């Protein structure tokens, strides 16, 4: 596990002061990796061991430590409601990654840099794919399809769902957009299957020319703040809805565009305080599966519900 969030800073920092002594004793925190069994027995942390030594120690443990009894978890539609996928709703995975142009084509960036605070350090090769989840209630999913679907019928995605899709926060990639428009067109009807094409765009931040002008002002006056992240994307997707099952059987969407700003520059290797440049980025959605990893709660719900005073309602547009 990555123990960087367990740093014992205290309530004026990031975490609870009462945990500080335990974290110090366990040797976790401050962005280090720790190793433990499923039952919680510590196996060391980076600096005193490595993954292979931790694995060797794990294999020497009694069976009861290596495979502790597992407590039965509630069904997906039970438990803490806001942290469970909506019953009968749509659950999709959202992906984001840095891109680069190679031989005239867009491909995954060969490297990115993880330290967006002090400069471009912490190289990762190739660029990671960051993952988020997108949830819709059953009613919201049905609302994407016209009630009396006919080939050629066109409609804009309902505002609350459109805003949720555009504001999905992909770690290290940021919100997809502050504004935009997503439209669905019925392309084919075959039995119970309704095929739709998604088209649209999103925008975030300021125009590239504005970012360059802000950079010029910052160069002349060091008191000018950093240039925020900005982005423009075009969307294209293919969706299929089974009216008999009242569920989507395909939800394949891609969005490709360019991003610029201080954090984006650092992530792509330009370093701190560099002139804004256009960097290719890409996003995608697809239907999730049925495994445990496909029931992960979208961060926007977790962070708002657990840390910001129960604001999960904002995810659902309430």
Confidence band of 306 (pLDDT split at 50, 70, 90): low
The per-residue pLDDT for 8 is 40
Range of 147-156, 235-244, 303-312 with top mean pLDDT: 235-244
3-state secondary structure of 88: coil
State the Cα angle at 127 between 176 and 289, rounded to 5°.
Answer: 65
Higher pLDDT, 39 or 201: 201
Q: What are the tokens at 306?
A: 């657990």
pLDDT score at 301: 76
Nearest to 177 by CA among 157, 199, 206: 206
Q: How far is the CA of 296 from the CAs of 86, 286, 288, 289, 291, in angstroms?
A: 12, 15, 10, 11, 10
Residue 211 has pLDDT above 50, yes or no: yes
Which of 91-105, 231-245, 286-300 is predicted with the least confidence, judged by mean pLDDT? 286-300
Q: Is the pLDDT of residue 312 over 50?
A: yes
Per-residue pLDDT band for 286 (boundaries 50, 70, 90) equals very high
Domain range annotation of the chain: 81-316
Residue 13 has pLDDT above 50, yes or no: no
pTM over 0.85: no
- Sign, CA dihedral 55-61-63-69, equals negative
Q: What is the pLDDT confidence band of residue 116, given thresholds at 50, 70 and 90?
A: very low
Give the DSSP H or E segment for 298: none
Percent residues over pLDDT 70 in the chain = 75
Express each pLDDT in 63-86 by its tens digit: 888 888 877 766 655 556 667 788
B/e letters for 142-156, b = 16+ CB within 10 Å, e = fewer, are bbbbeeebeeebeee
Q: Which residue has the higher pLDDT, 76 or 15?
A: 76
Predicted pLDDT at 55: 92
The mean pLDDT value of the chain amounts to 80
The CA distance from 38 to 151, in Å, is: 53
Name the nearest CA neighbour of 249 among 288, 296, 293, 197: 288
Per mean pLDDT, which range of 86-100, 165-179, 188-202, 229-243 is the poorest? 165-179
Q: Out of 54-68, 112-126, 267-281, give the one with best mean pLDDT.
A: 54-68
Helices (H) and strands (E) in the chain, counts: 8, 15
């Amino acid at each position: 596990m990555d123990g960087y969030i367990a740093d014992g800073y205290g309530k004026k920092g990031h975490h609870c002061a009462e945990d500080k002594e335990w974290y110090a004793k366990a040797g976790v925190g401050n962005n280090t990796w720790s190793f433990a069994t499923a039952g919680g027995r510590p196996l060391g942390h980076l600096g005193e061991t490595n993954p292979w030594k931790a694995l060797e120690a794990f294999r020497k443990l009694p069976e009861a430590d290596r495979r502790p009894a597992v407590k039965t978890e509630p069904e997906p539609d039970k438990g803490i409601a806001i942290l469970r996928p909506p019953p009968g709703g749509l659950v999709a995975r959202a992906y984001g990654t840095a891109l680069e142009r190679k031989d005239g084509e867009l491909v995954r960036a060969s490297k990115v840099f993880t330290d967006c605070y002090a400069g471009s350090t912490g190289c990762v090769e190739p660029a990671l794919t960051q993952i988020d989840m997108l949830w819709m209630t059953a009613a919201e999913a049905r609302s994407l399809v016209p009630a009396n679907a006919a080939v050629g019928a066109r409609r804009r995605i309902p505002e609350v769902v459109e805003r949720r899709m555009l504001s999905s926060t992909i770690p290290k990639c940021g919100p997809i957009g502050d504004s935009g428009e997503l439209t669905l067109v019925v392309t084919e009807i075959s039995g119970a299957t309704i095929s739709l094409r998604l088209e649209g765009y999103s925008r975030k931040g300021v125009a590239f020319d504005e970012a360059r002008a802000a950079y010029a002002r910052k160069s002349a006056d060091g008191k000018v703040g950093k240039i925020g992240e900005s982005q423009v994307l075009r969307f294209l997707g293919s969706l299929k809805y089974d009216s008999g099952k009242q569920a989507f059987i395909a939800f394949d969407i891609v969005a490709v565009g360019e991003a610029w700003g201080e954090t984006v520059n650092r992530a792509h290797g330009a370093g701190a305080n560099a002139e804004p440049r256009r960097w290719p980025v890409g996003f995608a959605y697809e239907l999730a599966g049925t495994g445990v990893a496909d029931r992960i709660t979208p961060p926007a719900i977790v962070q708002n519900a657990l840390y910001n005073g129960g604001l999960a309602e904002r995810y659902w547009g309430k």
